[in-house]
């Protein structure tokens, strides 16, 4: 029965699955029909019809009448006489909540009007704005789906329900959902009536329930993903109204992906590709340490796991702006809507006074792996004053609060957070990623504790061990100050020896924590004056600070420049490393910061001569990039410091730029992303590529890595993979995400290669 009604109206039984013609929803319904699933019959007024309507203002009335007659014949009922239809939109790209829907249409002319209404809703201001924001072409258009309505409120053997094919919170297998007897779907969704767990349906309508289980299995197999299904039972007969991939928590996403791979529904590669960085983040996300110690302010629903601390903001736009400035925020709203997505993505956590576990805010934050407390009804939010009050406490914009998505509690102030334990499935996904990824993922760690974290998160080693922090203990600080103020050779030698002993202790602790992992230790990169107390009353100290002060400290007397003027500091550090190495064997390399000339690198190599340590360098100045060839010959490895490099490429001082004008740059669309968070591919990226090209020309097997902030950013990691970087080194928490993205990049790259090869083969066949 593949009769086409003038090619602009398609009955579901026509089995046309073209999304361009029928939109997403329409094509999915046809797919279900094709799979033999019980779908209420209907037809689609296609995108071609919309095009014609747009051009002429005319609907293909005859074709619609014909399709309707056919529907009436199939249902054995006439419209308005036992038969009602719904009219919905269906675009090729999901635009949730943007288009109009008309339900319970019972006569022909309202049926035509409804189709017009649906088509017209394509041009509403909010739809236009949504398309602009999401880069959706207005030419794409939409279809209108006319479908027989089924009635969950027809009798006692009727009802309506929604279900996930697996638990969306934990990922556990088995149907998970809600059931409302004798009710229409709208009653369930609106929350007007309290639903029952799905088990109630099982007791009441065992056959329909078994059929539902079968439907769920079939749909999962077909779509290879957990489904979110709406269904209605009309006098004991099951109808599937809609299916789509279900939103889920990060933990569930991991479990579902691993389980589906084990069930042979997915390949390991597809399981990895299915994961998003947010899925992992929601698992890795910190939780409150000993929450029982603190007095909560109020409580809501624990809608999305993990805890977050941040500045209170009331508008999503502000969350977005502050995120670009690297400020953590908690977005507080009465409720959220699809318009707030970007603000939610930018915030560290979400708190609402209204809504439930299936509300927009709950679903979205869960999907993003973002802690949220939803429906904290005691909250009185004043959006105008940008403050909320609860239990006589007033919290204003800018105050800090902590939300606990694990318990639903909200606290004032910043509570100490700790991380969750990884699940078995999490570890499985990580081990698959380890197998499939081509680039290494190391961790940045300055202390023994951080080294342990890197090991716990499965890092390949320590890509960056900074030594600046070691000078922050009172003893070391006192010693380095003495060094700066010291004048005689004797004084200097004495204090250097003390510093060496202190450093050695630090290194011994770190080396022990390594347990065989390699580590790259970066020699000191700090202007000396930062070690001096700014408010000192000692005139000698103040005179010295004045002398060491700089107009532009970012570009001042730091890094290897310090080693040129004061070689004894690096010498001391290297000696300390060697002494520590004699106590605890470890695989250690040295890294030189801020190198601009070959001579500087050779200078440090001379200081390190005879140590047997490899000597690499940070690529964090533009000049080093320009001299990548000759430097490659003299260096054992390169590690890009993308933070400093970004500052140099942009001629931005990060502190100043973020305070003074970056916000305006985002507002006015001069910059899209904060280049200190997401690698600036066109500028910094191009410089890196150029440098890597020159370096590998000189030394093809030079190990090149990235240890700047971008090393932990998913979008940037994919760029680094394409640049043929050997490893990234990021903060311990970001290691799992980095591994995931690294594996995904490898898989995608392989698939692209294979796709290209296929094109070639096919072309050859043609010839």
Q: Which residues are annotated as catalytic?
A: 360, 707
CB of 239 within 8 A of CB of 222? no
| Binds a copy of itself (CB under 8 A): choice among 209, 652, 720, 733 | 652
Count other Cβ atoms within 10 Å, centred on residue 540.
10
CB of 446 within 8 A of CB of 466? yes
Span from 264-272, 466-474, 548-556, 571-579 in contact with a copy of itself (CB under 8 A): 548-556
Closest to a copy of itself by CB, 27 vs 618, is: 618
Total binding residues toward a copy of itself, as defined by CB under 8 A: 50
Q: Looking only at residues 579 through 608 of this chain, which bind a copy of itself when binding is defined by CB under 8 A?
A: 594, 596-597, 599-600, 603
User: Please, what is the Cα angle at 764 between 761 and 765, to 5 degrees?
Assistant: 90
Question: Nearest Cα to 35, choosing from 218, 184, 228, 213?
Answer: 218
Least distance in Å: CB of 539 to a copy of itself? 21
Least distance in Å: CB of 696 to a copy of itself? 17
Closest to a copy of itself by CB, 193 vs 534, is: 534
271 binds a copy of itself (CB under 8 A): no
633 binds a copy of itself (CB under 8 A): no
751 binds a copy of itself (CB under 8 A): no
| Binds a copy of itself (CB under 8 A): choice among 75, 555, 613, 678 | 555
Strand partners, 402: 309, 411
The Cα–Cα gap between 294 and 296 comes to 6
442 binds a copy of itself (CB under 8 A): no
| Binds a copy of itself (CB under 8 A): choice among 31, 249, 282, 647 | 647
Span from 10-18, 297-305, 445-453, 621-629 in contact with a copy of itself (CB under 8 A): 621-629
| Binds a copy of itself (CB under 8 A): choice among 77, 202, 299, 561 | 561
Q: Looking only at residues 2 through 41 of this chain, which bind a copy of itself when binding is defined by CB under 8 A?
A: none
Strand partners, 647: none
| Binds a copy of itself (CB under 8 A): choice among 155, 186, 199, 655 | 655
Closest to a copy of itself by CB, 212 vs 649, is: 649
Closest to a copy of itself by CB, 416 vs 683, is: 683
CB of 444 within 8 A of CB of 462? yes
Least distance in Å: CB of 574 to a copy of itself? 19
The Cα–Cα gap between 296 and 395 comes to 13
Least distance in Å: CB of 316 to a copy of itself? 24
Strands (E) located in 486-550: 519-522
The Cα–Cα gap between 556 and 552 comes to 6
Closest to a copy of itself by CB, 10 vs 652, is: 652
Question: Nearest Cα to 620, choosing from 710, 698, 702?
Answer: 710
Closest to a copy of itself by CB, 204 vs 626, is: 626
757 binds a copy of itself (CB under 8 A): no
Instruction: Give me 274's structure tokens.
Output: 């299915």
Span from 175-183, 207-215, 508-516, 544-552 in contact with a copy of itself (CB under 8 A): 544-552
251 binds a copy of itself (CB under 8 A): no
Span from 45-53, 340-348, 391-399, 545-553 in contact with a copy of itself (CB under 8 A): 545-553
Least distance in Å: CB of 557 to a copy of itself? 4
Closest to a copy of itself by CB, 651 vs 701, is: 651
Closest to a copy of itself by CB, 297 vs 657, is: 657
The Cα–Cα gap between 283 and 736 comes to 10
Least distance in Å: CB of 708 to a copy of itself? 14
Question: Nearest Cα to 358, choosing from 261, 228, 462, 478?
Answer: 228
The 669-698 contact track toward a copy of itself, x by CB under 8 A, reads: xxx--------x-xxx-xx--x--------
Q: What is the DSSP string of 115-173?
A: HHHHHHGGGSHHHHHHHHHHT--TTS-EEEEEEE---TTSSTT-EEEEEEEE-TTT--E
Instruction: Give me 550's structure tokens.
Output: 């700089």
Strand partners, 396: 387
Closest to a copy of itself by CB, 186 vs 656, is: 656
CB of 624 within 8 A of CB of 555? no
Span from 110-118, 182-190, 551-559, 758-766 in contact with a copy of itself (CB under 8 A): 551-559
Strand partners, 519: 462, 588
Least distance in Å: CB of 685 to a copy of itself? 8
653 binds a copy of itself (CB under 8 A): yes
Instruction: Give me 96's structure tokens.
Output: 């949730």
723 binds a copy of itself (CB under 8 A): no
| Binds a copy of itself (CB under 8 A): choice among 315, 650, 718, 726 | 650
Question: 122 Cβ partners below 8 Å, 6+ apart?
Answer: 50, 89, 99, 138, 141, 142
Phi-psi region of 197 (alpha: psi -120 to 50; beta: other; left: phi over 0): beta
657 binds a copy of itself (CB under 8 A): yes
Q: What is the DSSP string of 655-701?
A: HHHHHHTHHHHHHTTS-SS-TTTS--IIIIIHHHHHHHHHHHHH-TT
Instruction: Give me 138's structure tokens.
Output: 């207005």
Least distance in Å: CB of 625 to a copy of itself? 9
Strand partners, 330: 312, 349
Question: Nearest Cα to 245, choosing from 270, 268, 220?
Answer: 220
Closest to a copy of itself by CB, 273 vs 598, is: 598
CB of 252 within 8 A of CB of 170? yes
Least distance in Å: CB of 706 to a copy of itself? 17
List of residues contacting a copy of itself (CB under 8 A): 548, 550-557, 561, 564-565, 594, 596-597, 599-600, 603, 620-623, 626-627, 644, 647-653, 655-657, 660-661, 664-665, 668-671, 680, 682-684, 686-687, 690
């Amino acid at each position: 029965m593949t009769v086409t009604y003038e090619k602009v109206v398609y009955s579901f039984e026509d089995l046309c699955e073209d999304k361009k013609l029928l939109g997403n929803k329409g094509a999915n319904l046809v797919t279900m029909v094709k799979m033999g699933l019980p779908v209420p019959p209907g037809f689609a007024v296609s995108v071609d019809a919309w095009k014609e309507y747009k051009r002429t203002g005319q609907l293909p009335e005859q074709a619609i009448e014909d399709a309707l007659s056919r529907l009436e014949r199939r249902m054995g009922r006439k419209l308005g006489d036992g038969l009602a239809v719904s009219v919905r939109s269906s675009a090729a790209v999901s635009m949730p909540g943007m288009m109009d829907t008309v339900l319970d249409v019972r006569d022909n002319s309202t049926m035509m009007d409804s189709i017009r209404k649906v088509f017209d809703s394509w041009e509403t201001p909010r739809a236009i704005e949504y398309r602009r924001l999401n880069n959706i072409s207005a030419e794409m258009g939409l279809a209108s789906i006319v479908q027989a309505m089924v009635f969950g409120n027809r009798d006692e053997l009727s009802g309506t329900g929604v279900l996930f094919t697996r638990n969306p919170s934990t990922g556990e297998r088995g149907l998970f959902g809600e059931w409302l007897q004798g009710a229409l779907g709208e009653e369930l969704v609106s929350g007007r009536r309290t639903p029952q767990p799905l088990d109630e349906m099982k007791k009441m309508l065992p056959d329909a329930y078994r059929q539902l289980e079968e439907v769920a299995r079939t749909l999962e197999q077909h779509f290879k993903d957990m489904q979110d299904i709406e269904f209605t039972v009309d006098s004991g007969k099951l109808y599937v109204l809609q299916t789509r991939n279900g939103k889920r928590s990060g933990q569930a996403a991991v479990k579902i992906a691993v389980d589906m791979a084990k069930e042979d529904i997915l390949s390991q590669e597809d399981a990895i590709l299915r994961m998003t960085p947010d899925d992992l983040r929601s698992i890795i996300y910190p939780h409150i340490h000993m929450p029982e110690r603190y007095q909560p302010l109020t409580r809501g629903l624990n809608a999305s796991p993990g805890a977050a601390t941040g500045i209170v903001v009331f508008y999503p736009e502000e969350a977005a702006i502050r995120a670009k400035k690297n400020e953590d925020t908690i977005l507080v709203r009465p409720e959220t809507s699809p318009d707030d997505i970007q603000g939610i993505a930018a915030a560290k956590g979400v708190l609402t006074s209204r809504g439930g576990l299936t509300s927009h805010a709950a679903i979205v934050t869960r999907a993003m792996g973002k802690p949220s407390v939803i429906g904290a009804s005691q909250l009185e939010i004043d959006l105008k004053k940008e403050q909320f009050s609860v239990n006589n406490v007033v919290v204003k914009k800018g105050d800090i609060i902590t939300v606990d998505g694990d318990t639903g509690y909200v606290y004032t102030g910043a509570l100490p957070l700790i991380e969750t334990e990884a699940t078995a499935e999490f570890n499985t996904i990580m081990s698959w990623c380890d197998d499939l990824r081509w680039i290494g993922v190391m961790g940045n760690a300055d202390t023994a504790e951080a080294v342990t974290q890197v090991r716990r998160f499965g890092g390949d080693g320590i890509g960056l061990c900074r030594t600046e922090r070691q000078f922050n203990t009172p003893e070391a600080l006192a010693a380095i100050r003495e060094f700066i103020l010291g004048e005689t050779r004797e004084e200097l030698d004495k204090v250097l020896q003390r510093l060496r002993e202190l450093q050695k202790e630090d290194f011994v602790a770190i080396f022990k924590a390594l347990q065989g992992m390699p580590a790259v230790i970066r020699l000191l990169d700090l202007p000396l004056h930062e070690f001096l107390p700014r408010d000192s009353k000692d005139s000698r100290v103040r005179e010295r600070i004045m002398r060491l002060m700089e107009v532009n400290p970012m570009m001042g007397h730091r890094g290897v420049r310090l080693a040129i003027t004061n070689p004894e500091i690096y010498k001391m550090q290297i000696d300390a490393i060697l002494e520590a190495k004699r106590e605890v064997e470890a695989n250690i390399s040295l890294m030189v910061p801020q190198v601009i000339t070959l001579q500087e690198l050779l200078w440090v190599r001379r200081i390190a001569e005879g140590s047997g340590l490899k000597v690499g360098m940070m690529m964090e100045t533009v000049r080093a990039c320009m001299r990548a060839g000759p430097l490659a010959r003299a260096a054992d490895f390169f590690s890009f410091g993308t933070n400093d490099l970004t500052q140099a490429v942009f001629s931005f001082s990060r502190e100043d730029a973020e305070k003074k004008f970056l916000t305006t740059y985002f507002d006015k669309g001069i910059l899209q992303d904060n280049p200190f968070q997401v690698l600036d591919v066109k500028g910094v990226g191009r410089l890196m590529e150029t440098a890597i090209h020159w370096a590998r020309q000189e030394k093809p097997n030079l190990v090149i890595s990235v240890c700047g902030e971008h090393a932990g950013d998913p979008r940037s990691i994919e760029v680094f993979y394409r640049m043929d970087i050997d490893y990234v080194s990021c903060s311990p928490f970001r290691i799992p995400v980095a591994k995931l993205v690294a594996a995904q990049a490898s898989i995608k790259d392989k698939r692209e290669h294979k796709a290209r090869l296929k094109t070639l083969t096919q072309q050859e066949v043609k010839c």
